[in-house]
Amino acid sequence: MRGILIKGNENKAKYFIREVGGKKPVFICAIGSSEVGKIPGISAAGKNPELTDYTPPADVELLLYGRCKCIDSVPVTPEGIPTPALITMSALELANIPIFIVAGGLRIKPHAPFIDLGGMHGGDIRKGLAVANVKEIMERAELIGKMFAKFSDYLVIGESMPGGTTTTLAILLAMGIDAMGKVSSSMPNNPHNLKIKVVEEGMKAIGIKFGDFKNDPIKAISHLGDPMIPAFSGLILGAGEEIPILMAGGTQMVAILAIVSAINNKVLKNLFIGTTRWLIEDKSSDLLGIVKQIHDLGILIANLDFSTSKYEGLRMYEKGFVKEGVGAGGAAIAAILKSKGKITPKILLKRIEENYERLMNI
Amino acid sequence: MRGILIKGNENKAKYFIREVGGKKPVFICAIGSSEVGKIPGISAAGKNPELTDYTPPADVELLLYGRCKCIDSVPVTPEGIPTPALITMSALELANIPIFIVAGGLRIKPHAPFIDLGGMHGGDIRKGLAVANVKEIMERAELIGKMFAKFSDYLVIGESMPGGTTTTLAILLAMGIDAMGKVSSSMPNNPHNLKIKVVEEGMKAIGIKFGDFKNDPIKAISHLGDPMIPAFSGLILGAGEEIPILMAGGTQMVAILAIVSAINNKVLKNLFIGTTRWLIEDKSSDLLGIVKQIHDLGILIANLDFSTSKYEGLRMYEKGFVKEGVGAGGAAIAAILKSKGKITPKILLKRIEENYERLMNI
C-alpha cells in the first residue's frame, strides 16, 4: 500500500493491511502524566519540564476540537516544534475516524470529554513509587476494551505521556529485556545516560535488579511505570482476543507489549505496531531490536515526508525532532487504510500544513 | 414483533422495528445526582433520600459488572424492591450489547470507567440553581454523540437520575408544556402535590412563570434541571442527525425531547421512545399526552410481565412500583430486536430472576 512501509514480521504486517483495509477503526488515545516528565532533560513534550503536565490534555483537546483549550497555543518542544498530535488530528479528520480519550491518571484534566479510569497522576520512579491502583486502572481499561471490541472493526491506540520512554526503559529492564540505549526520545540528542541514571536510581530504591519483575507486570508498573501504561495495556487485554489492534507509537509500545504478553499471550495474535519512518530511521533507538525480544510482530510504518514542507517547524521532524507520539504514525496508517490509499502522505502533509497555519496564525 | 407493543405514531414505531432489527446497538447510560433526589418523599430510587446519591453509580456498576461496588447490595426502594437496572443488565447481557456510561455530574463517582463531561452534582431547584456549566456539559456530550454516530448502527440511551421526574416537571412547565399531574414516579402513589410545590417554589425563586423558558432550554436546565439532562440531550444532539436513537425511559424523556427540539429539530426524525408496559399502563402519569405536545414520536413498549415471577420483589413491578428506569424498557426492546425476537419477555424474566437470586443471595 502506497505510503505504508513494513518491517518486523512482514507477513503479519501484510496480513493486517489486507485484513483491515477499507474497514472502520476507532482511535483511542491513552493519556497520563507523572513526575518523571518533569525531571529536567528527560522530555521535550512541552516548552519546559513543568509544562509537561499540560501536554496530554492539550494534545487530546487538539484531537477532539482542532485546537487546545487548557493552554493558549499547541504543545511545542523547547525549540518550538509542534506536537505530533497535529499529524494525528489531521489524519483522523481527513479519514473521519472516531476518537475517544482514556485517562490513566492526570494532574491537569482535559477541557474535553474523556473516559475516567479513576487513576491518579504518577510519581517519580526515582523513589520507586510510580502508579497507585494499577490493577484497578487496568481492569477498568480492560472493560472499556471489551466494550469497543463488541462493535468496532479494529482499534488504533496511541498515547500522550511525557517521560514515557524513561518509564519504558524502567519497565523493560525490570522485566528482563535488553533495552539499555535502545528507547527513543522526542529530542534529537537522546539523553540515554540521564534516563539510565533515573531508572537505576528507581531500581535501587526498591532493591531490584535486571529481570526481577519478569513475571510481575503489575509490580513493574506500580514501582517503575506511568499511568498511561495500565490504561493502554488494559485496553489491549480487553479487546485483543477479539479484534486487531494497531499499537500506535514508538518504543513505548514495547513496554505495553511486555506487560500484556506477561498477562495474556492470547492477545499477541491481534497486535501490530504502527509508527513513523522518523522513528524507524532513528539511529539513537532500536524499536525493532527490542520488539523482537518479546514477540515477532508485524510493524507498519507511515512513510511521511516533511522535507518539502513550507514550514521549518515541520521540516525539523526530518532532523530527528519529536519523531512520533499521540499515535501519529498509526493514525496516518489508519487514514491511508480506511481510504484504501486515497489519502496519501502528500494529502496528509497538505492538511497538516493547513492545520499548522491555522493553529500558529501564520 | 413479539414482546414489543407500539403507541404514539405507530408507523414510525414500525419503521424503527424494521430499520434496526438485527442491527447492533450501543447502550449508553446518562447519569447524574442532585439535591432534588434528597427532598423527602420525592424519590424512591434509594432506601432513603440520603442514599439516592449512591443509586446512579451503583446502577451503572450493576450494568457493567453484574454487581454493585459503591454499596453492598443493589439499590432498592424503601420497600426493598430492586432497581430496574436489574432488568437493563439482564437484557444487555443476554444480547451482548456494549455499554458506556456518561456522567453529567455526580457527588459519588462509580467504581467503574465512565465518560466524564466535567459537570458537578446538581443543586436544589427550590433555590432556582440547578446545574452549573450546562452549555459545556451539553457540548461535550454532543462530541461523544458525534463519535458514536460514526461507527454505531443505533443508540439506546437510558438514565439514572434520582428526582428526575420532578426536574422534568419543572423543565416542562418552564418551557410551556402542560405536564401538571402527568409526570411519572417510582412510587405507586405518585406525589404530584409535593412535586408541584417544589417546582413552584423554584419558579418563584427565579421569578418565572409557565412557558417563560420556551425558547431558552439552557436557562431551563441551569435553573430547574438536573445534570443528567444536558448529558442525555447532548448525546442526542451529536448523534441524532445521523443514526436512530431509542430514548429509553418514561416521562423524563419528554424533558429531553423538549430541550433537543428547541435546539435542533433536525434530530427529531431519528428519535423514538422505548419504555415499559408498566409505565404506559400507569394511571397517575401520561407519557403519551405530554410527548404529543412536542412531537408525534413512535413509542415502543417492552411487554414485560412479572406477574408470574417466583419473587415478590419482582411481582411488585406489576403493582406500580418502580415501573421504569436505567433504560430498562429500551434495553429489553433492544435485546428483542437485536436477537430478531429470539430473546422473548419470558427468557428475559428468567435471566432477571437468576440475577436477582444471585444478587440477593436467595
The residue type of A232 is: F
> What is the residue-averaged pLDDT of chain A?
97
Cβ–Cβ of B144/A113 closer than 8 Å? yes
A177, A221, A180, A230: which is closest to A200 by C-alpha?
A180
ipTM of the complex as predicted = 0.96
B contacts of A113 (beta carbons < 8 Å):
102, 115-118, 140-141, 143-144
Q: Domain A4-355: state its class.
A: alpha beta
Task: Give me the pLDDT at residue A344, please.
Answer: 98
**What number of C-beta contacts closer than 8 Å exist between A and B?**
65
A contacts of B152 (beta carbons < 8 Å):
151
B19 close to A (CB below 8 A): no
Cβ–Cβ of B116/A113 closer than 8 Å? yes
Task: Give me the pLDDT at residue A46, please.
Answer: 83
Per-residue model confidence as pLDDT tens digits over B222-236 = 999 999 999 999 999
Question: pTM score, two decimals?
Answer: 0.97
Per-residue model confidence as pLDDT tens digits over A235-293 = 999 999 999 999 999 999 999 999 999 999 999 999 999 999 999 999 999 999 999 99
Residue B339 to residue B361: CA distance in whole angstroms: 30
Residue A45 has pLDDT above 90, yes or no: no
Task: Give me the pLDDT at residue B2, please.
Answer: 87
> How large is the average pLDDT for residues B86-99?
98
pLDDT band at A362 (very low <50, low <70, confident <90, very high): confident
Beta strand ranges found along chain B (DSSP E): 4-8, 25-32, 99-105, 114-116, 154-160, 245-248, 271-276, 298-302
Cβ–Cβ of A140/B115 closer than 8 Å? no
Task: Give me the pLDDT at residue B46, please.
Answer: 83
Cα B62–Cα B51–Cα B169 angle in degrees, nearest 5: 90
Closest CA of chain B from A115, distance in Å = 4
Task: Give me the pLDDT at residue A2, please.
Answer: 87
With 0-12 / 13-18 / 19 or more C-beta atoms within 10 angstroms meaning exposed / middle / buried, residue B295 is middle
Query: Which cell goes with B337?
Result: 430486536
Cβ–Cβ of B113/A117 closer than 8 Å? yes
Residue A249 to residue A332: CA distance in whole angstroms: 11
Cβ–Cβ of A150/B114 closer than 8 Å? no
Task: Give me the pLDDT at residue A16, please.
Answer: 98
Cβ–Cβ of A151/B150 closer than 8 Å? no
Chain B residue whose CA is closest to A150: B98
A147's enclosing H/E stretch is: helix A134-149
Residue B362 has pLDDT above 90, yes or no: no
Cβ–Cβ of B151/A24 closer than 8 Å? yes
A308 close to B (CB below 8 A): no
B contacts of A100 (beta carbons < 8 Å):
147
> How large is the average pLDDT for residues B130-152?
98
Residue A327 to residue A280: CA distance in whole angstroms: 14
Domain boundaries, chain B: 4-360
Task: Give me the pLDDT at residue B361, please.
Answer: 86
Which listed CATH number (3.90.1150.10, 3.60.20.40, 3.40.50.10210, 3.40.50.720) goes with B4-360?
A: 3.40.50.10210
> What is the residue-averaged pLDDT of chain B?
97
Residue A337 to residue B129: CA distance in whole angstroms: 50
- Candidates A26, A70, A101, A144: best to mutate against B (most CBs of B within 10 A) is A144
Task: Give me the pLDDT at residue B45, please.
Answer: 85
Cβ–Cβ of A115/B113 closer than 8 Å? yes
